Amino acid sequence: MTTKNIYLPIKTSIANVKEVAKDVKLFSLSVPDDFTYQAGQFVMVSVMGAGEIPISITSTPGKSAYLELCIRAVGHVSAALNSHKSGDTVWVRGPYGKPFPINSRQDTLFICGGIGIVPLRPLINLMLNERTAAGGKRTMTVLYGSRTPAEVLFMDEVAAWQEQGANIVMTVDTCNIDSWKGCTGLVTDHFGQTMVEFKDSTAYICGPYVMIQAAMRDLSLMGMPDDHIITTLEAHMKCGVGKCGHCFCGGKLICEEGPVFSFEEIKKYNIKPGRDSLE
């Protein structure tokens, strides 16, 4: 049996590219059949001549034909990636990191801020499918905040989640169009619409770290157990395998011992990532 080399990238071909918002593209990559992953994990993606960055996996394990990555052009490498087209080659190594723990025995609250919906998307799909198969006995709420309506990602899928029985609460910071039917304000302003019993629920959170901090604090104050408040933290990871120490924080290597942590762990180890978002 051949042992997988965790440092060795594999060559992938871009099967499809879709622009989902300004400067944000969804890439579908053809990968080998034995490339397996779980919701919450990430890969290191490299472009020859540009560099390598960590990207969250947004495809649904066992359900997607391709490895899907949603990339916002915010730096040198991500801009180089977003210039690629169908048929081009990128290199991928991984998957790395700790996946989301799945608790389907309780009501579930997903809190997404901006591009933070990307790593939560596969988890929402998995848990909605599981909920449907079990007869839909537990409440699921997706609370999704963006800066403007134009920056909302995966709107068609959000509508499909609602059709599957999820309670959808959408909010934007500012809005100047009459067609917007959602809320305005911060995501934490709308916890009253989430339809979950906080003391008997699990929350999954991803977004800018300032939003994560506020959401974790408020949920804890409303009675949700700290070990049921789950987030995925982003850091400027370089190696992805716990060797370089670039993402070391609070005694933890975020790439290896995360990026998924509970609020209980974050408080215990005083984990405070230095960056809100990836390259």
What CA–CA distance (Å, rounded) separates 194 from 223? Answer: 14
Q: What is the pLDDT of residue 137?
A: 74
What CA–CA distance (Å, rounded) separates 4 from 99? Answer: 19
Nearest to 26 by CA among 93, 113, 84, 99: 84
In order of their start, the domains of the chain are 10-96 (2.40.30.10), 107-269 (3.40.50.80)
What CA–CA distance (Å, rounded) separates 269 from 252? Answer: 8
Question: Could you write out the DSSP letters of every residue in 70-86?
Answer: EEE--SHHHHHHHT--T
Q: What is the pLDDT of residue 1?
A: 37
What CA–CA distance (Å, rounded) separates 102 from 51? Answer: 33
Q: What is the pLDDT of residue 279?
A: 36
Q: What is the pLDDT of residue 273?
A: 64
Q: What is the pLDDT of residue 3?
A: 53
What CA–CA distance (Å, rounded) separates 237 from 242? Answer: 9
Residue entry with tokens 């067609």: 179
Cβ(81)–Cβ(47) below 8 Å: yes
Q: Three-state DSSP class for 26?
A: strand
Cβ(76)–Cβ(49) below 8 Å: no
Q: Please compute Rg for the chain using Cα positions.
A: 18
The dihedral of CA 70, 74, 77, 82: what is its sign?
A: positive
Q: What is the pLDDT of residue 134?
A: 66
Cβ(42)–Cβ(54) below 8 Å: yes
> pTM of the predicted model, to two decimals?
0.93
**CA torsion angle for 146, 147, 151, 156 (degrees, to 10)?**
30
pLDDT in tens, the chain (279 residues): 345 787 899 999 999 999 999 999 999 999 999 999 999 999 999 998 999 999 999 999 999 999 999 999 989 999 999 999 999 999 999 999 999 999 878 899 999 999 999 999 999 999 998 887 666 678 999 999 999 999 999 999 999 999 999 999 999 988 777 778 888 899 999 999 988 899 999 999 999 999 999 999 999 999 999 999 999 987 778 899 989 888 888 888 999 999 999 999 999 998 876 543 333
DSSP assignment letter at 188: G
Q: Three-state DSSP class for 130?
A: helix
Structure tokens at 132: 């449907």
Question: Could you write out the DSSP letters of every residue in 145-185?
Answer: EESSGGG---HHHHHHHHHTT-EEEEEES----TT--SEES
User: Residue 147: what residue type?
Assistant: R
